[in-house]
Structure 1
Amino acid sequence: MKILYATSEAVPFCKTGGLADVAGSLPAALAAQGVETAVVLPLYRRVREQFGPELEYLCYDYVDLAWRRSYCGLFRLIRDGVTYYFLDNEQYFNRPALYGYMDDGERFGFFSRAVVRMLHHMAFWPDVIHCNDWQTALIPIYLKDDGVREERFRSIRTVMTIHNIEYQGRYGTEVVGDLFGLDHGWVDDGTIMMDGDVNLMKAAVLCADAVTAVSPSYAEELKYAFFAHGLESVMRRCAYKLSGVLNGIDMKRYDPAADQLIAANYSAADLSGKAKDKAELQRMMGLREEPDTPIIAVVSRLVSHKGLDLIREVFHDIMELPVQMVVLGQGDQQYQEFFTWAQSQYPGRMAARIDYSEALSMAIYSGADLFLMPSKSEPCGLSQMIAMRYGTVPIVREVGGLKDTVHPYEAWRDAGNGFTFAAYNSGDMLFVIRQAVGLYRDYQEQFRRLQQRCMAGDFSWGRSAGEYVRIYCGITGQPAPQFQREEPAAAPAQPEEPPAQPEKGPEQPKLTGKPEQAKLAGKPEQPKLTGKPEQAKLAGKPEQAKLAGKPEQAKLTGKPKQAKLTGKPERAKLTAKPDQPKLTETAGQPAQSGEPEKKPRAKKTAARKPAGKKSAAAKPAAKKGSAAEKKTAADKAKE
């Protein structure tokens, strides 16, 4: 199976948000599951500057977009088992930032058109093109449009992943032909239209073979007006092909035991290093160095849907608690100004950095005690997973991916991995913050176990990749790649071995010639003989069976005189039937000598000889038995 992952950003090449983390981790996880995966990206200026020497130039072609005919170069870079393709056009992509330009619609319209038209120049023809957000939403539409005229495009299936439905790619109707080069029929039948505007997200949802959201809860929320931003009717209509697949994080990258960006490493078994990281964070941010004061952290884009209004409403109430607070992020001016002012109001207890720094964010994740994320809407969220990975307990609102990853703490049974509240209400948020601070200060052992449960969570991409493979198989009809890999290894070995053992063992099991170790021929297991002389059974368990050295353990017969060994004392043979083997022809008959067994002598012999050897009482019995048989044969001859 071949998957082409189309995205506008991906770690480590370019990043503005969570989409880059997903695009940087999911393709590698798919490749690890046997899926041949490639990623296609625009060749931005920052990519060329940082990775230029590693890029391999393949070819160039011209791409038609409406009345424009534009150059498109194709570059390649192979990394971690994944092939990355970069589409080059300096007019559109040689700019300092990724987004935020007046012609973004034209820029990513060109990118979507180039992905489709440059397929024949790439190393493989994909079975599925996986699109992400509005920047690649035109790809399913172009495939449908070109497929009418060119049969080669009809075999390609598409998946559309919604990372944040708030951004839909909305434009005026005049762009359909002039900007995107599409026939006006796409407008007339309503496929690309929503509320009087061109809506690229709506068109992609209708045209894609499968639609996914980045968490199960978010997939359900998209059917309601509060979360869907006007597309709720479309999402309900396409519910039959909508799935929620929870994002993951790179567990190797975010590992407190090996992370090189933090001051001290630590693990769930030994959290002593986290105390050192906390002290380092307090020094970096200018906070008072108080090891017993909990630090509440916020690492976020400073925008309204992150729930920052709730923090602003009860900020003074939070600071009345014995806590310190750290904020890192940038965004809307109103929130930047608020947190800058808050820092001046509580010097030594509140610190804000209106910026984004990877090193500082990791210092906060590892050094803070509580992580506050009261989002109004949160499709998935990665920050809470990273925080838990570093033993920083999350405080979140039960929405989207936060609800799927953080489970409320329950003191009565010592369960859960964080603190949650349901209503979008500052009072409810303040209540659970007080709970978390109280647990930290008064119940340190319980808080430590809570941290360990956070760190033990599985947020790996392997789980998510398996779900995407299932979706790919569903729309292509192809079997899962892992089944194809396992089939050749499993076929030759298993069926042959079981029949090979019964041919030697159960037919004629024999005890070995060494009296100190009784073995079945052809099998490593040693059988146990039952205590009843008339029915000596082979033990069904593989434990080692011993001949009676002690009369209370694994006896040959109930009475030593009744069980006779066959002619050769060095090889005691069992009969052909493994379920009821007979020791001698007279097994189960009364003792011929009529003399009782001398138990003290048997115990003395057992003590003197190792377990598994024949007892001294067995030898005379065998001799007398032989003499009696001869006498009986002589009397019959005389008669």
Structure 2
Amino acid sequence: MQKILFATSEVYPLIKTGGLADVSASLPRALLKLGYDVKILLPAYASVLEKTTEKSLKSIAQFELEGNRINIKQTRLPGTRVTVWLVDISEFSERAGNPYCGPDGNDWYDNHKRFYLFAKVAELIALNQVNLNWQPDIVHCNDWQTGLIPALLSLHQQRPATVFTIHNLAYRGLFSYQAFAELNLPDTFWHHERIEFYGQMSFIKGGLVFADYITTVSPSYAKEIQQPEFGYGLEGLLQYRNEALAGILNGIDCDEWNPGNDPHLAATYNRRTLSNKTKNKLALQERMGLTVDHSIPLLGFVGRLVDQKGVDLILSQMSHLLTSNFQLVILGSGFPHYEQTLKNIAMQNPHKVAVYVGYDEALAHQIEAGCDMFLMPSIFEPCGLNQMYSLRYGTLPIVHAVGGLRDTVVERQADGMTADENGFVFHKPEGKELLAAIERATKAYEQPDVWKKMQLNAMGKDFSWENSAKSYGKIYTQIT
């Protein structure tokens, strides 16, 4: 049985800012089911400690590290058999709120030090040097916050193998040379073939340069990040490491996202009882103050209100949506100017547009179940989970053909040859292209037999984590 140390900066439901948290919860569970011995390593943020009871926490190691008192506490991922080891240092455990930013919205001034110490603890555990009597065969790292772990482990001859997963290359973990100088890293690391990046230190380069294998979260994204448009200056390095790079599509938690027994819904349904879906539409329209009418096409959006998610494309077509027979419900938070613009539109058109700024897990489920179509016009999307939730709920996605969206959503071709069509795809990040896709969706919606067949195709897709976990298992075997 291979032992896996899964290092991550967030895991649902303990701490979540994005899709990384969902993956960090689901993949270890799937690996455990396949027989792997998995431990999740996570910073002990104040909010995480608040969610764990004293009874469920056990201190399993205490030691000094470069003048810092380290306490490793053990708990379980709620509702699972997966062990979580929390790295408790004051820089994590004594700060409320977001794991990366202060109350003013700016990054914590010492993020380089915090995540360096996290990496050092992972290094010591990986080398079995903190008396835990457990040494991993694989250290699986995720995104820039863990990028220094493969770099540190590269300094040891006898070490576990390392896998580094890119969830979003746009976040590269960039810090000044002064920050590099403050960390106890070898001078040899300050080199353009190591972690120096155009005069700055890049944490993510530690993973990309030193890991034995690199993965990312969809086959298309693995190709895209080797091109300048999506490579963020790292495309040359990724081309160089191409033979040790694979795209493995994320799965979704099919227990958490199951319309057949979802506790958040007005009515549960499956492929055989698809007509019950309409009850969720009516309940959602009522809850959000929209005109209650099952025949009006209802578009949904759940996600961060940032430019990456294509919010500008939606806004560019808003006048058309407002003068046509559509309703729109939006759930998310992000840039203040997007939040305010959308709130203003909703205030002026309360029966057509509903906007909830913030996050509400129950409402997210109700939007997935209650809408007819789901808007996901992302400018780039490494994998995306919401389009998979939508497919599972028979809510047909309208997506831009990038990353995991391209890999999961299939539109009927003009010659009608596609047998597994399950949504609508546009190929240029332009408002008029999005509008054309919405209009194609509307035409299909007006043909109940066509629409139902597409819904059944969508709901029939297997997005469970088991397949993805097996693909990771093959990589683990290959590098050990």
Q: Report what 1:422 is aligned to.
A: 427
- Give 1:56's match in structure 2, choosing from 51, 55, 58: 58
Letter aligned with residue 164 of structure 1: N
- Give 1:107's match in structure 2, choosing from 102, 108, 114: 114
In structure 2, what is the Cα distance between the partners aligned to 1:114 and 1:225? 35
In structure 2, what is the Cα distance between the partners aligned to 1:234 and 1:93? 35
Residues 294 and 87 of structure 1, relative CA distance in 2, 3 Å threshold: same
Matched residues, percent identical? 37
Q: Is this contact kept in 2: 1:330–1:336, CA < 8 A? A: yes
In structure 2, what is the Cα distance between the partners aligned to 1:403 and 1:189? 33
Q: Report what 1:193 is aligned to.
A: 196
In structure 2, what is the Cα distance between the partners aligned to 1:379 and 1:268? 29
Verify: 1:260 aligned to 2:263, yes or no.
yes
Written as runs of structure 1 = structure 2, the 5 A alignment for 1:192-591 is: 192-410=195-413, 412-413=416-417, 415-440=420-445, 442-476=446-480
Give the Å deviation of 1:266. 0.6
SS of the residue 2:136 aligns to: coil
Q: Is this contact kept in 2: 1:177–1:183, CA < 8 A? A: no
In structure 2, what is the Cα distance between the partners aligned to 1:91 and 1:222? 33
Give the Å deviation of 1:386. 0.5
Unaligned 5+ segments in structure 1 are: 477-639
Letter aligned with residue 57 of structure 1: S
Q: Deviations over 1:157-199 (max 9, x none)?
A: 1111000001111111122232x21121211464111111111
Q: Report what 1:135 is aligned to.
A: 145
Give the Å deviation of 1:84. 1.1
| Max Rg structure | 1
Give the Å deviation of 1:272. 2.5
Q: Deviations over 1:34-71 (max 9, x none)?
A: 1111111011111211112311221211112xxxx101
In structure 2, what is the Cα distance between the partners aligned to 1:7 and 1:288? 43
TM (norm. structure 1) is 0.71
Q: Report what 1:554 is aligned to.
A: none
Q: Is this contact kept in 2: 1:39–1:83, CA < 8 A? A: yes
In structure 1, what is the Cα distance between the partners aligned to 2:64 and 2:339? 44
Give the Å deviation of 1:93. 3.1
SS of the residue 1:376 aligns to: coil
Give the Å deviation of 1:91. 3.1
In structure 1, what is the Cα distance between the partners aligned to 2:251 and 2:409? 13
Q: Deviations over 1:80-123 (max 9, x none)?
A: 33221111112333211211122211111111111212443335
Residues 144 and 323 of structure 1, relative CA distance in 2, 3 Å threshold: same
Q: How large is the Cα RMSD of the aligned pairs?
A: 1.4
- Which portions of structure 1, spanning 4 or more consecutive aligned residues, are displaced by more than 4 angstroms? none
In structure 1, what is the Cα distance between the partners aligned to 2:467 and 2:166? 19
Residues 381 and 372 of structure 1, relative CA distance in 2, 3 Å threshold: same
Give the Å deviation of 1:155. 3.0
Unaligned 5+ segments in structure 2 are: 102-107
Give the Å deviation of 1:321. 2.3
Question: Using CA pairs below 8 Å that are at least 6 residues apart, which structure has the higher relative contact order?
Answer: 2
Give the Å deviation of 1:323. 1.0
In structure 1, what is the Cα distance between the partners aligned to 2:190 and 2:238? 19
Q: Deviations over 1:315-340 (max 9, x none)?
A: 11122221100011000112112211
In structure 2, what is the Cα distance between the partners aligned to 1:435 and 1:118? 54
**Total equivalences in the alignment:** 464
In structure 1, what is the Cα distance between the partners aligned to 2:191 and 2:388? 45
Q: Report what 1:74 is aligned to.
A: 72
Letter aligned with residue 85 of structure 1: W
Q: Is this contact kept in 2: 1:176–1:183, CA < 8 A? A: no
Q: Is this contact kept in 2: 1:176–1:184, CA < 8 A? A: no
Give the Å deviation of 1:356. 0.7
In structure 1, what is the Cα distance between the partners aligned to 2:462 and 2:46? 36
In structure 2, what is the Cα distance between the partners aligned to 1:21 and 1:397? 22
Residues 470 and 261 of structure 1, relative CA distance in 2, 3 Å threshold: same
In structure 2, what is the Cα distance between the partners aligned to 1:71 and 1:309? 47
